[in-house]
Amino acid sequence: MFLFILYLKLTPFLLIQCYFSENGIFCEDSILVIWVLFGLILLIIALNDFLFFRIEDEPVIALCILYVISYIFGVSGHNFLEGFSIALAVFVITLVLNHCDMIGGGDVKFLFPLLLFAEDNLDIFLVGISIAGILLAITYMLFGRYIFAFRRKVVLKLLTIRKNKKKNAFLNIVLLSLSRITNRTAALTYRVKNVWRQEIPYGVALAYGGFCVILENLLSR
């Protein structure tokens, strides 16, 4: 019943996609633009997660909108029902893990559109985030204090720049989290007592998995 209702809701998008395909409206240029936009959003999310340990709603929503556009233009969604089912199942599982404090809420919402885009390249995506996640964890365990010192210096500089309203426009787009933090919430004090339990920006690893998907799609065309 759920799949039937979902199919009815997707029928308009299917018709639009068929119209665009038959009339040759989408081309290689539009495909490239979609993947470039996808990469830029991934970069923004990874940068914000690394500096502020935050994944905002807006770029995640932008990814979902971009997926709909890519589906209409035939770039993604070739196995939509299967891909959506996997993404939804993972979302539910990670949501439960989030309630158990085993995964961040930002990673949960970020993972959903990533899985939709991964689709036929799910294996490459999983390998990518696994390798990146392991390397990220090892790096933070070995050099966490130095990474924190670098991050603290950059964040303090950005907080100073934020006071200059003339320079806010660019920062509010690329570093969205900058406008939503204070010196108190920016985690500028190193309080790690156990390197095994320190906070790690796994959104960076997820973004890397997304870049692996982009590369695979571009190379396969």
The residue extents of the domains of the chain are 12-143+202-219
Residues 6+ apart with CB under 8 A from 109: 55, 57, 60
Element spanning 95, H or E: helix 80-99
pLDDT of residue 211: 96
pLDDT of residue 72: 84
**Other Cβ atoms within 10 Å of 85 Cβ, number:** 14
pLDDT of residue 14: 46
What is the pLDDT confidence band of residue 41, given thresholds at 50, 70 and 90? Answer: very high
Residues listed for the chain: 221
What is the pLDDT confidence band of residue 144, given thresholds at 50, 70 and 90? Answer: confident
Average pLDDT over residues 141-160: 86
Judge whether residue 124 has pLDDT over 90.
Answer: yes
**Other Cβ atoms within 10 Å of 128 Cβ, number:** 23
Judge whether residue 6 has pLDDT over 50.
Answer: no
Structure tokens belonging to residue 96: 């439960």
Contact 135, 142 (CB under 8 A): no
State how far the Cα of 200 lies from the Cα of 73, in Å rounded to an integer.
Answer: 36
User: What's the mean pLDDT when you consider all of the chain?
Assistant: 80
**Other Cβ atoms within 10 Å of 33 Cβ, number:** 15
Contact 221, 31 (CB under 8 A): yes
Between 98 and 221, name the one with better pLDDT.
98
Judge whether residue 60 has pLDDT over 90.
Answer: yes
